[in-house]
Structure 1
Amino acid sequence: MKKLTAILTLTMILVSYDTPAFSQTINEADTELCETLKYALINSLREPIDKAIFEIYKDDEDAPEGLRWDSYDTEILKIKQLYGVGGAYELTLKVKPFYRAHITYGEDIIVVSADGELIDYEHLKTYPRVYFN
Protein backbone atom coordinates (compact mmCIF):
# COMPACT_ATOMS: atom_id res chain seq x y z
CA MET A 1 0.00 0.00 0.00
CA LYS A 2 2.92 2.31 0.79
CA LYS A 3 4.30 1.65 -2.69
CA LEU A 4 0.99 2.56 -4.31
CA THR A 5 0.71 5.74 -2.23
CA ALA A 6 4.27 6.72 -3.12
CA ILE A 7 3.69 6.11 -6.84
CA LEU A 8 0.41 8.08 -6.81
CA THR A 9 2.04 10.94 -4.90
CA LEU A 10 5.00 11.00 -7.29
CA THR A 11 2.66 10.89 -10.29
CA MET A 12 0.58 13.79 -8.91
CA ILE A 13 3.72 15.85 -8.32
CA LEU A 14 5.05 15.21 -11.83
CA VAL A 15 1.69 15.92 -13.47
CA SER A 16 1.23 19.14 -11.51
CA TYR A 17 4.62 20.44 -12.75
CA ASP A 18 3.76 19.72 -16.38
CA THR A 19 2.96 23.25 -17.47
CA PRO A 20 1.44 23.43 -20.95
CA ALA A 21 3.35 25.64 -23.38
CA PHE A 22 1.20 28.06 -25.31
CA SER A 23 3.14 30.12 -27.82
CA GLN A 24 1.87 33.25 -29.40
CA THR A 25 3.61 35.38 -32.00
CA ILE A 26 4.40 38.83 -30.69
CA ASN A 27 3.66 41.45 -33.30
CA GLU A 28 5.30 44.76 -32.41
CA ALA A 29 3.99 46.64 -35.44
CA ASP A 30 1.10 48.96 -36.17
CA THR A 31 -0.54 46.45 -38.52
CA GLU A 32 -2.04 42.98 -38.30
CA LEU A 33 0.45 40.10 -38.46
CA CYS A 34 -0.46 39.18 -42.06
CA GLU A 35 0.11 42.77 -43.24
CA THR A 36 3.33 43.01 -41.24
CA LEU A 37 4.67 39.83 -42.88
CA LYS A 38 3.69 41.19 -46.30
CA TYR A 39 5.59 44.44 -45.73
CA ALA A 40 8.59 42.59 -44.32
CA LEU A 41 8.71 40.31 -47.36
CA ILE A 42 8.41 43.19 -49.82
CA ASN A 43 11.05 45.26 -47.99
CA SER A 44 13.45 42.31 -48.05
CA LEU A 45 13.24 42.46 -51.87
CA ARG A 46 14.07 46.19 -52.07
CA GLU A 47 17.32 45.74 -54.01
CA PRO A 48 15.93 43.84 -57.04
CA ILE A 49 12.84 46.08 -57.14
CA ASP A 50 15.06 49.20 -57.18
CA LYS A 51 17.09 47.62 -59.98
CA ALA A 52 13.96 46.92 -62.03
CA ILE A 53 12.64 50.46 -61.60
CA PHE A 54 16.01 51.87 -62.67
CA GLU A 55 16.00 49.65 -65.79
CA ILE A 56 12.40 50.50 -66.68
CA TYR A 57 12.79 54.28 -66.45
CA LYS A 58 16.46 54.80 -67.43
CA ASP A 59 15.59 55.75 -71.03
CA ASP A 60 12.47 57.77 -70.14
CA GLU A 61 13.56 61.38 -70.67
CA ASP A 62 10.49 62.71 -68.90
CA ALA A 63 10.93 60.51 -65.80
CA PRO A 64 11.57 62.54 -62.65
CA GLU A 65 14.89 62.05 -60.92
CA GLY A 66 14.95 59.81 -57.88
CA LEU A 67 11.83 57.73 -58.44
CA ARG A 68 10.95 55.83 -55.26
CA TRP A 69 8.40 53.24 -54.19
CA ASP A 70 6.86 52.13 -50.92
CA SER A 71 6.02 48.67 -49.65
CA TYR A 72 2.56 49.72 -48.46
CA ASP A 73 1.62 50.71 -52.02
CA THR A 74 3.03 47.49 -53.55
CA GLU A 75 0.72 44.58 -54.26
CA ILE A 76 1.72 40.93 -54.22
CA LEU A 77 -0.10 39.56 -57.26
CA LYS A 78 1.21 35.99 -57.15
CA ILE A 79 3.55 33.78 -55.14
CA LYS A 80 4.67 30.80 -57.19
CA GLN A 81 6.18 27.81 -55.39
CA LEU A 82 8.81 26.34 -57.71
CA TYR A 83 10.10 23.10 -56.14
CA GLY A 84 7.64 22.00 -53.49
CA VAL A 85 7.26 23.05 -49.86
CA GLY A 86 10.31 24.87 -48.56
CA GLY A 87 11.78 25.24 -52.04
CA ALA A 88 12.29 28.40 -54.05
CA TYR A 89 9.55 30.98 -54.49
CA GLU A 90 8.89 33.50 -57.23
CA LEU A 91 6.91 36.66 -56.41
CA THR A 92 5.04 38.80 -58.88
CA LEU A 93 4.59 42.35 -57.60
CA LYS A 94 2.75 45.41 -58.84
CA VAL A 95 4.83 48.47 -57.97
CA LYS A 96 3.84 52.12 -58.37
CA PRO A 97 6.94 54.36 -58.49
CA PHE A 98 6.41 57.93 -57.32
CA TYR A 99 8.19 61.24 -56.99
CA ARG A 100 7.92 64.19 -54.64
CA ALA A 101 4.99 63.83 -52.23
CA HIS A 102 3.82 60.44 -53.52
CA ILE A 103 2.82 61.56 -57.00
CA THR A 104 2.53 58.28 -58.89
CA TYR A 105 4.52 58.21 -62.13
CA GLY A 106 3.89 54.68 -63.33
CA GLU A 107 2.77 51.12 -62.73
CA ASP A 108 5.02 48.13 -63.24
CA ILE A 109 4.94 44.36 -62.83
CA ILE A 110 8.16 43.04 -61.30
CA VAL A 111 8.98 39.37 -60.84
CA VAL A 112 11.64 38.49 -58.25
CA SER A 113 12.78 35.35 -56.51
CA ALA A 114 12.46 35.14 -52.75
CA ASP A 115 16.25 35.06 -52.49
CA GLY A 116 16.51 38.53 -54.05
CA GLU A 117 17.12 37.90 -57.75
CA LEU A 118 15.38 40.04 -60.38
CA ILE A 119 13.70 37.67 -62.84
CA ASP A 120 11.56 39.86 -65.08
CA TYR A 121 9.78 43.20 -65.27
CA GLU A 122 7.12 44.82 -67.42
CA HIS A 123 6.07 48.46 -67.63
CA LEU A 124 2.28 48.80 -67.63
CA LYS A 125 1.49 52.48 -67.51
CA THR A 126 3.05 55.94 -67.29
CA TYR A 127 1.12 58.80 -65.73
CA PRO A 128 1.61 62.37 -66.94
CA ARG A 129 4.28 64.20 -64.99
CA VAL A 130 3.16 67.15 -62.89
CA TYR A 131 5.46 70.16 -63.08
CA PHE A 132 5.74 72.65 -60.24
CA ASN A 133 6.99 76.23 -60.38
Structure 2
Amino acid sequence: MKKKCLLVVLIVMFIISHTTAYAETTNQTDTDWCDTLKYAFINSLKEPIDEAIKEIYKDDTFATNEGLSWAPFQTEITEINQIYGVGGEYEITLKIYPYYRAHNTYGEDLVVVNTDGELISYEHVKTFPIIGENLD
Protein backbone atom coordinates (compact mmCIF):
# COMPACT_ATOMS: atom_id res chain seq x y z
CA MET A 1 0.00 0.00 0.00
CA LYS A 2 2.84 2.41 0.82
CA LYS A 3 4.41 1.76 -2.59
CA LYS A 4 1.15 2.58 -4.40
CA CYS A 5 0.65 5.80 -2.43
CA LEU A 6 4.26 6.81 -3.05
CA LEU A 7 3.85 6.05 -6.76
CA VAL A 8 0.66 8.16 -6.98
CA VAL A 9 2.32 11.05 -5.12
CA LEU A 10 5.36 10.92 -7.44
CA ILE A 11 3.17 10.87 -10.55
CA VAL A 12 1.13 13.86 -9.32
CA MET A 13 4.32 15.78 -8.44
CA PHE A 14 5.78 14.99 -11.86
CA ILE A 15 2.66 16.23 -13.66
CA ILE A 16 2.45 19.42 -11.57
CA SER A 17 6.15 20.26 -11.96
CA HIS A 18 6.02 19.91 -15.76
CA THR A 19 3.03 22.14 -16.36
CA THR A 20 4.05 24.78 -18.85
CA ALA A 21 2.53 28.24 -18.71
CA TYR A 22 2.53 30.13 -21.97
CA ALA A 23 2.44 33.92 -21.86
CA GLU A 24 2.43 36.07 -24.92
CA THR A 25 3.19 39.76 -24.91
CA THR A 26 0.67 41.74 -26.90
CA ASN A 27 2.13 44.58 -28.89
CA GLN A 28 -0.68 46.84 -30.08
CA THR A 29 1.51 49.42 -31.82
CA ASP A 30 2.68 50.22 -35.33
CA THR A 31 6.29 49.25 -34.56
CA ASP A 32 8.07 46.05 -33.63
CA TRP A 33 8.58 45.21 -29.96
CA CYS A 34 12.14 46.56 -29.69
CA ASP A 35 11.25 49.92 -31.26
CA THR A 36 8.14 50.17 -29.11
CA LEU A 37 10.20 49.73 -25.94
CA LYS A 38 12.75 52.26 -27.17
CA TYR A 39 10.12 54.92 -27.92
CA ALA A 40 8.29 54.27 -24.64
CA PHE A 41 11.57 54.59 -22.74
CA ILE A 42 12.55 57.83 -24.53
CA ASN A 43 9.06 59.27 -23.90
CA SER A 44 9.46 58.51 -20.19
CA LEU A 45 12.50 60.84 -20.19
CA LYS A 46 10.58 63.75 -21.77
CA GLU A 47 10.91 66.15 -18.82
CA PRO A 48 14.73 66.14 -18.50
CA ILE A 49 15.12 66.24 -22.30
CA ASP A 50 12.77 69.26 -22.51
CA GLU A 51 14.77 70.90 -19.72
CA ALA A 52 18.05 70.36 -21.61
CA ILE A 53 16.64 71.73 -24.89
CA LYS A 54 15.32 74.79 -23.06
CA GLU A 55 18.73 75.42 -21.45
CA ILE A 56 20.73 74.83 -24.65
CA TYR A 57 18.69 77.26 -26.74
CA LYS A 58 17.70 79.83 -24.08
CA ASP A 59 19.87 82.56 -25.66
CA ASP A 60 19.00 81.68 -29.27
CA THR A 61 16.34 84.19 -30.32
CA PHE A 62 15.25 82.17 -33.35
CA ALA A 63 14.81 79.01 -31.28
CA THR A 64 12.91 80.74 -28.48
CA ASN A 65 10.61 82.49 -30.98
CA GLU A 66 9.93 79.32 -32.96
CA GLY A 67 9.46 77.09 -29.91
CA LEU A 68 11.66 74.11 -30.69
CA SER A 69 10.35 70.62 -30.21
CA TRP A 70 11.84 67.12 -30.56
CA ALA A 71 10.52 63.72 -31.56
CA PRO A 72 11.23 60.33 -29.92
CA PHE A 73 11.38 58.62 -33.33
CA GLN A 74 14.25 60.93 -34.33
CA THR A 75 16.10 60.42 -31.04
CA GLU A 76 19.03 58.03 -30.85
CA ILE A 77 20.25 56.22 -27.75
CA THR A 78 24.02 56.40 -28.17
CA GLU A 79 25.21 55.00 -24.84
CA ILE A 80 23.89 53.33 -21.68
CA ASN A 81 26.16 53.19 -18.63
CA GLN A 82 25.36 50.89 -15.73
CA ILE A 83 26.07 52.75 -12.47
CA TYR A 84 25.26 50.42 -9.55
CA GLY A 85 25.08 46.92 -11.04
CA VAL A 86 22.32 44.98 -12.75
CA GLY A 87 18.93 46.51 -12.09
CA GLY A 88 20.43 49.61 -10.50
CA GLU A 89 20.66 53.09 -11.89
CA TYR A 90 21.74 53.77 -15.46
CA GLU A 91 22.93 56.87 -17.30
CA ILE A 92 21.62 57.19 -20.84
CA THR A 93 23.18 59.39 -23.52
CA LEU A 94 20.69 60.53 -26.17
CA LYS A 95 21.26 62.32 -29.44
CA ILE A 96 18.40 64.78 -29.89
CA TYR A 97 17.49 66.66 -33.08
CA PRO A 98 15.34 69.67 -32.08
CA TYR A 99 13.14 70.98 -34.87
CA TYR A 100 10.82 73.85 -35.70
CA ARG A 101 7.60 73.88 -37.69
CA ALA A 102 7.15 70.80 -39.91
CA HIS A 103 10.15 68.90 -38.57
CA ASN A 104 12.78 71.29 -39.93
CA THR A 105 15.81 70.14 -37.96
CA TYR A 106 17.49 73.06 -36.23
CA GLY A 107 20.19 71.43 -34.12
CA GLU A 108 21.91 68.35 -32.82
CA ASP A 109 22.46 67.87 -29.09
CA LEU A 110 23.73 65.23 -26.70
CA VAL A 111 21.72 64.86 -23.51
CA VAL A 112 22.67 62.61 -20.58
CA VAL A 113 19.91 61.58 -18.17
CA ASN A 114 19.62 58.88 -15.54
CA THR A 115 16.86 56.35 -14.99
CA ASP A 116 15.54 58.45 -12.10
CA GLY A 117 14.59 61.08 -14.70
CA GLU A 118 17.33 63.54 -13.71
CA LEU A 119 19.23 65.63 -16.23
CA ILE A 120 22.95 64.88 -15.78
CA SER A 121 24.50 66.95 -18.58
CA TYR A 122 23.94 68.29 -22.08
CA GLU A 123 26.08 69.45 -24.98
CA HIS A 124 25.13 71.38 -28.09
CA VAL A 125 26.82 69.71 -31.07
CA LYS A 126 25.73 71.90 -33.98
CA THR A 127 23.09 74.21 -35.39
CA PHE A 128 21.68 73.66 -38.87
CA PRO A 129 20.92 76.48 -41.33
CA ILE A 130 17.43 77.95 -41.22
CA ILE A 131 15.26 76.77 -44.11
CA GLY A 132 13.47 79.42 -46.12
CA GLU A 133 13.95 83.15 -46.10
CA ASN A 134 10.53 84.35 -44.94
CA LEU A 135 9.99 82.90 -41.45
CA ASP A 136 6.86 84.90 -40.61
Q: TM-score range by the shorter chain?
A: 0.7 to 0.9
Aligned to 2:100: 99
Alignment check: 8 A CA contact 1:62 1:129 kept? no
Q: Is the 8 A contact 2:66 2:101 kept in 1?
A: no
In structure 2, the partner of 1:85 is 86
Q: What are the ranges of 5 or more consecutive residues in structure 2 without an aligned counterpart? A: none
Percent identical pairs in the alignment equals 55
1:61-81 deviation per Cα after TM superposition (whole angstroms, max 9, x unaligned): 232421000000000000111
SS, match of residue 62 in structure 1: helix
For 1:73, give the aligned amino acid.
Answer: Q
Spell out, residue by residue over 1:4-53, the C-alpha distance to the aligned partner (whole angstroms, 9 max, x if none).
Answer: 78887887788778842012211111111110000000000000000000
Q: After TM superposition, what 4+ stretches of structure 1 lie above 4 angstroms from structure 2? A: 2-19
Q: Cα–Cα, structure 1 residues 10 and 47, in superposed 2: closer, same or farther, change >3 Å?
A: same
Size of the aligned set, in residue pairs, is 132
5+ residue gaps, structure 1, are none
Counterpart mapping for 1:109-128 below 5 A: 109-128=110-129
Partner of 1:75: 76
